[in-house]
Amino acid sequence: MTPLLLVALAAVTLSLGYVGYGRWLASRLFQLDPTAAVPSETLRDDRDFVPTPPAIIFGHHFTSIAGTGPIVGPALAIMWGWGPALVWVLLGSILIGGMHDMAVLIVSLRNRGMTVGEIAGRLLNPRVRLLFLVLLLFALWVVLAIFGWVIASVFVQFPEAILPVFLQIPIAVAIGLRVHRQGRAILVPSLAALAAMYATVWLGAGCPGTAWTGGPVGQVVQTVNGTVAGWPIWLWVAILLAYCYVASVLPVWVLLQPRDYINSLQLISSLGLIVTGLVVTACFGSAAGSAGGSPLPLEMVAPFLDLHPNNAPPITPFLFVTIACGAVSGFHCLVSSGTSSKQLRCETDARVVGYGSMLLEAFLAVLVIVAVGAGIGLGWPQAYPGLSGTALWQTLYADWKGVTGGKAIAAFVVGSGNLLESLGIDAVMARALVGVLVASFAGTTLDTATRLQRYVVQELAGSLLAKLPGTSAGQTTTTPLALPLKWLTTPHGATLFAVGTAFLLALLPAPGKPWSLANLGTGGLILWPLFGATNQLLAGLSLMVISFYLRRRGLPTIVATLPMILMLVMPAWALCINIDRWLAGGSLALVAVAVVMLAVEAWMAIEGLLLWGRIKGVLEEPLEQPSAVATR
């Protein structure tokens, strides 16, 4: 099957999933009501609760959930073959991921914009809420520490991306101020922002294709790129977390929301360019491979199926935790219930924002599979001169242990860049475009994760504060814990705790690396092996919350319970296999955390089983609504 036909069939499949299953979920199961009151209106504070046009909230939601997950996951999982990876992406996103994201968004909308942890406490019991919040705290802690390293790695490998990523900030602020305060239409500002961002990519690449490339402007840009790309990882992590602090405490419409929106314009248009490059390359051959002879044909150089790659774990269950974003991801429930539900201006927007964003992310994962499985075969002269086709792919993917997250990202950037070159785009500019795409995805996830961690810290601190002796009606005694807990319930206190603890983790050197300035900033890699399973475990637990929401209303639960079982069993299975491996390798810290994660899962599953038979048709206690809103 040619790569072009594969992508076309995937696009048709995802489209049918949206108009078929997505419509049934929205109109028949959840019965979305365009006139229902929503939190962005009833609780509007113009900081977190802000009614937002669907195009802008779609951009925020899509870029927040995507990150580098749908890039790294498929680029690693293709070692088992592009066939299993593609099947899991398509079926997982349509039947599980899209339903999961939209359902959590809807349930949060109907619970005053509460996070999924708070909702778990209402639908199950307070113990489940506390367990959920602890799990969220851990998962987001690792995300903040690791994504700083991911973005720094992209900057080091592709310094052309540095300038465009940071110039997006003033462009975003200008858009946010214009649209929110002046109430202007977004079409013209959007087009202007898109043009400005592509201009920054061209500038960051050293003005390729013009006389400026070797002139003073190009030389200055290249000198700056080379200098800042050589900064230590820990410094980049500090800069990125400082930005995230600012983005988290500012009103959402000032920076976070407009930056995600303009990023989505650039990212979606870049995906369109990659698809166009795919069509041209499939029809006419590769411009990247034509310099030394005839154009190379575009074909899948990765195997369709390989059950035993060198040093790889078994495909079952690890396929289901390696490809998370792109199929189903627990992190998405945090975005749906943490930020997006506070910004939707009507219930019916939940389908395009929740379900639609997930399927677009799945299409990105499909493009990654093709870029790494076919595009990389067109050559990588900078790293593997003289190699192409299957020989290059087999060299690059010779050993599972050698394909790190950084190498997987680089393979996608180079493979996609090869496709863009067929459009006549300069090779440096092509890599810069894709490098900015990757860094921007990671950046939007990083700043959104900071805001989500702020919510989790505030919720946990509030819960603990309420349990202190002498606490009554919001007044606390002068116990030693009262003051710090009260500080953690504030936006600034919670955000400082979020970025500060993430930076402390990041400061540690990666496993097996000595203490040195060069290795500081990679500490997120210590717990990163746990994240894949923990993330998917979170998806299973949020599906349990959805199942209880449906059962309490007497609605069909099978759409959530079957995916729930899959997403509880697979991560637990993967953790058990890893525990055995980590014990043999002496990684006792990973073993300890994994055992705790399994215990949390078992505890929550038991709580759910004990309650399941007693709550069918029994609604949870109604919330005190700020306005007359019917219980749904």
Tokens of 429: 């500019």
Query: pLDDT tens, 417-474?
Result: 999 998 988 888 888 888 888 888 788 888 888 988 998 999 888 888 887 776 554 4
CA angle 598, 600, 601 (to 5 degrees): 65
Supply the pLDDT for residue 302.
95
Q: Is the pLDDT of residue 115 over 80?
A: yes
User: What single string gives the DSSP state of each residue in 340-387?
Assistant: GGGTBSSTTHHIIIIIIHHHHHHHHHHHHHHHHHTGGGG-BTTTBTT-
Q: What is the mean pLDDT of residues 573-598?
A: 90
In contact, 132 and 534? CB cutoff 8 Å: no
Helices (H), 422-490: 427-466, 482-488
| Residue 249 near residue 495, CB atoms below 8 Å | yes
Say whether pLDDT at 337 is over 70: yes
According to the model, what pLDDT value does residue 632 have?
42
Under the phi-then-psi rule, with left for phi > 0, alpha for psi from -120 to 50, and beta for the rest, what region is 418?
alpha
pLDDT band for position 184 (cuts 50, 70, 90): low
- What confidence score (pLDDT) does residue 559 get? 96
Instruction: List the one residue out of 549, 535, 531, 537 whose CA is nearest residue 601.
Output: 537
What does pLDDT average to over the chain? 88
More confident residue, 295 or 353: 353
Buried b (16+ CB within 10 A) or exposed e, 66-84: bbbbbbbbbbbbbbbbbbb
Return d(Cα 371, Cα 84) in angstroms, integer: 16
Residue closest to 218 by CA, chosen among 154, 176, 163, 258: 163
Of 525 and 379, the one with more pLDDT: 379
Residue 313 and residue 69: Cα distance in Å, rounded? 19
474 or 322, which is more confident? Answer: 322
Lowest-pLDDT range of 248-262, 290-304, 435-449, 559-573: 290-304
Residue 178 tokens, joined: 């214009």
Structure token digits, residue 617: 């048709």
Distance CA 396, CA 416 (A): 16
Q: How far apart are CA 324 and CA 70, in angstroms?
A: 7
Q: What CA–CA distance (Å, rounded) separates 139 from 142?
A: 5
Give the pair of three-digit tokens for residue 292: 């030394």
100 pLDDT band (50/70/90 cuts)?
A: very high
Helix%, strand%, coil% for the chain, nearest 5: 70, 0, 25
Percent of the chain with pLDDT over 90: 49
The two structure tokens encoding residue 188: 């013209």
Least confident window among 36-50, 78-92, 247-261: 247-261
- Mean pLDDT over residues 277-299, rounded? 77
Q: Is it true that the peptide bond before 216 is cis, omega within 30 degrees of 0? A: no
Does 163 have pLDDT greater than 90? no
Q: What is the mean predicted confidence (pLDDT) over 473-497?
A: 79
Q: Is the pLDDT of residue 499 over 90?
A: yes
